[in-house]
Structures are given as C-alpha cells and as structure tokens.
C-alpha cells in the first residue's frame, strides 16, 4: 500500500506534466476529429457523386489503417521523404484524422435518423442545400450524435496512449511518463496504476460532460 503512495508522492510533478500533455493531445485531436469528421460527413451527403466518393474514400482509408501505422507515416515516413512534420502535429494529426473517420460515420448515421420530411420542409421554404445542412440537418444530427460522439471521445482518450508508446518525440504524455518512472523505480504495478487513474479521470470527465449535454440538448420528437 505504502508503495502506491510513495510512487505518486515522489513523482507527482512528472505525472502531472504527463497528464497535462495527454490533455493537450486529446483536446487538439478532438477539434481536428470534429471539424474533419463534419466535413467528411458533408461530403458523403452532398448531392454530387464525386464528393460522395471522396468522403467514402477518406473513411475507408483512415478507418482501415492502424493508428500506429499513421503515426509512423506522419512522423518518420514524411521526414524521410523530406517533409518533416512537427511531432505534436504528427501526433494530433494522426489521432484526429483517424478518429474523424469514425466521427464522420456517426454524423452520417445521425443524419439518416433525421426524416426526409425535414429536408423537404427546409427546401420548400427556399433554403439552399448548404443552409439546409447548416441550419436543419447538422444541428439535429449533432444532438442525435452526442452519445456515440461521447464513446468516440473516450476511445480517443485511450488511443492517445499509443502516441506515448510510439517513437514520436513530443513531451512525454501520461503513458510515456509512466514508462520512464517504471524504468527508474521498477515499481511496475504501482506506476501504471497511477497512469490508469489519470486516464480514468479524463474518461469519467468525458462521460459526465456527455450526460450533461444529453440532458440539455436532447430533442424530443
């Protein structure tokens, strides 16, 4: 028991710094995933076949490649090819673009949950396709999509640990910090227990935020 307390007491600043880096990773990737996911979903729904294909290609490409492979390509691969990508951009880009494929699919199914009558009604008022999307379809889709989006965010928080397990040279995130501490102290169980607690704090926070949003924004039909 005292070993557990000792590990956290002796390494608190390091854990805190790792926790903070993980927070940043998650926050930036989340924004990337949401923006790109929305754009890709719009492409898949647009009334123009080539755009549909473009969106579908994105989703299949990013959903079917392991995240670790994306990290290697964006960080090491591009640098070899003469286009070095800053480590933080490689990390958040990979995580964000990877998650965006799932976000796009979630939004798309949220859109399908909206009746065709909604689109008819908006169009009959004279709204253009873009306005229909912005004012009628997407706001409803986002509300429908809050629960699955919450699940994707939780998965993304956990997936962010893959960055710490890879060779991408950003400041150590929570997982990388734990690996360093474990290397120095050999207290494996104790160290990773505290890393796990850090991830738990983030995922529980995400869960609570989703619950709150659900209660505030859910649409009664």
Among all chains, which residue has been given the structure tokens 């691969």?
Answer: 77
Positions 88 through 117 that interact with another protein (CB under 8 A): 115, 117
User: Per-residue contact track with another protein, 36 to 55, x per CB under 8 A?
Assistant: --------------------
Q: Is 86 in the site for another protein (CB under 8 A)?
A: no
Positions 138 through 157 that interact with another protein (CB under 8 A): 139-140, 143
Q: Give CA–CA dist 93/90, Å, rounded.
A: 5
Which of the 8 DSSP states describes residue 9? H
What six digits make up the tokens of 163?
């960055």
Tell the smallest beta-carbon distance from residue 217 to another protein (Å): 8
Q: Give CA–CA dist 78/84, Å, rounded.
A: 6
* One of 49, 126, 186, 216 touching another protein (CB under 8 A): 126
Tell the smallest beta-carbon distance from residue 114 to another protein (Å): 9
H runs (alpha helix) in the chain? 2-10, 12-45, 49-63, 67-71, 78-80, 87-112, 116-124, 129-131, 138-159, 161-165, 174-185, 188-217
Stretch that binds another protein, among 69-77, 90-98, 119-127, 190-198 (CB under 8 A): 119-127
The residues that touch another protein, with contacts defined as CB under 8 A, are: 115, 117-118, 120-128, 131, 135-136, 139-140, 143, 219-221
């Amino acid at each position: 028991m005292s070993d557990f307390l000792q590990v956290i007491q002796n390494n608190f600043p390091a854990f805190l710094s790792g926790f903070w880096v993980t927070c940043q990773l998650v926050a930036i990737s989340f924004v990337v995933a949401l923006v790109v996911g929305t754009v890709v979903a719009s492409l898949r729904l647009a009334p123009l076949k080539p755009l549909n294909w473009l969106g579908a290609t994105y989703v299949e490409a990013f959903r079917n490649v392991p995240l670790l492979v994306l990290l290697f390509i964006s960080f090491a691969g591009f640098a070899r090819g003469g286009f070095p990508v800053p480590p933080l951009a490689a990390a958040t880009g990979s995580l964000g673009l990877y998650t965006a494929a799932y976000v796009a699919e979630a939004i798309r199914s949220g859109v399908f949950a909206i009746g065709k009558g909604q689109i008819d009604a908006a169009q009959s008022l004279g709204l253009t396709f873009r306005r229909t999307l912005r004012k009628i379809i997407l706001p409803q889709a986002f509300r429908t999509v809050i629960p699955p989006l919450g699940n994707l965010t939780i998965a993304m928080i956990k997936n962010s640990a893959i960055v710490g397990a890879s060779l991408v040279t950003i400041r150590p995130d929570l997982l990388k910090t734990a690996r360093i501490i474990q290397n120095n102290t050999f207290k494996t169980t104790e160290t990773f227990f505290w890393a796990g607690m850090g991830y738990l704090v983030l995922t529980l926070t995400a869960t609570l935020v989703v619950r709150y949003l659900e209660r505030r924004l859910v649409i009664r039909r």
